[in-house]
C-alpha cells in the first residue's frame, strides 16, 4: 500500500529486503546501512509506507521515526567512533531533478575531523537581518495559514 500513489514496484525502499544491512526494524520503520554512504556507517531511517514528503507523514510516524533516529544516532556514533553526527532528510526529492530515491528518509551521517564531506555550511555568508526577518515573516504566515486549516 502506498500513500502517494506511487507503485511500490518502482521504489527500491518499498521493496527493500537485504536483511544483512538492516539494523532496526519494526511495524512502521526500518533502518539500513547506506549503499552509497557519505561516510562509513551512514544510516538511512525509512518509513515502511511510501511517503515522498516529510509533512505527509502521520504525526505518530514522524515522532516514531525521530525517536528511533535518536537511539540509532548514539549507536552509530559509538560504533563508528565519529566525532559528530549530521542529520539530513530527503523530502520531496522527485522535484528539481535530484538523483535520489523519492521515498522520505532521514540520514544519520557520522562525521569525522577532516572527513572532507561535500556538505557545505554557511553557503550564503551573512544573510543579513532584513532577509532573515523577511524569511521569518513568510514562515510565520505559512504557519498561521496551516493552523487555520487544522
Ligand atoms: Zn517507496
CA of 69 to the centre of ligand 1 (A): 19
Q: What integer is the mean pLDDT of 91-98?
A: 73
Residue 118: which pLDDT band, with cuts at 50, 70 and 90? low
Mean of all residue pLDDT scores within the chain: 85
Does residue 95 form part of some domain? yes
Residue 125 forms part of a structural domain: no
Distance in Å, CA 126 to ligand 1 centroid: 38
Distance CA 75, CA 39 (A): 15
Please tell me which residue, 106 or 95, carries the higher pLDDT value.
106
| pLDDT tens per residue across span 29-71 | 999 999 888 889 999 999 999 999 999 999 999 999 999 999 9
Give 62 Cα–ligand 1 centroid separation in angstroms.
16
Q: Is residue 12 part of a domain?
A: yes
Is residue 8 predicted with pLDDT exceeding 60?
no
Q: Flag whether 110 is in a domain.
A: yes
Q: Which residues of 20-34 are buried (b: 16+ CB within 10 A; e: fewer)?
A: eeebeeeeebbbbbb
Amino acid at each position: 500500500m502506498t500513500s502517494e500513489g506511487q507503485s511500490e514496484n518502482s521504489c527500491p525502499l518499498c521493496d527493500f529486503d537485504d536483511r544483512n544491512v538492516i539494523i532496526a526494524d519494526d511495524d512502521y520503520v526500518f533502518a539500513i546501512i547506506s549503499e552509497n554512504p557519505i561516510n562509513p556507517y551512514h544510516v538511512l531511517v525509512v518509513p515502511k509506507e511510501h511517503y515522498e514528503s516529510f509533512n505527509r507523514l502521520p504525526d505518530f510516524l514522524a515522532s516514531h521515526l525521530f525517536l528511533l533516529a535518536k537511539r540509532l544516532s548514539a549507536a552509530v556514533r559509538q560504533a563508528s567512533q565519529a566525532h559528530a553526527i549530521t542529520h539530513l532528510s530527503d523530502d520531496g526529492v522527485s522535484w528539481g531533478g535530484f538523483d535520489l530515491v523519492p521515498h522520505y528518509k532521514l540520514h544519520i551521517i557520522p562525521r569525522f575531523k577532516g572527513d572532507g564531506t561535500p556538505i557545505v555550511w554557511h553557503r550564503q555568508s551573512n544573510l543579513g537581518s532584513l532577509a532573515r526577518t523577511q524569511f521569518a515573516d513568510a514562515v510565520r504566515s505559512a504557519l498561521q495559514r496551516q493552523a487555520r486549516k487544522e
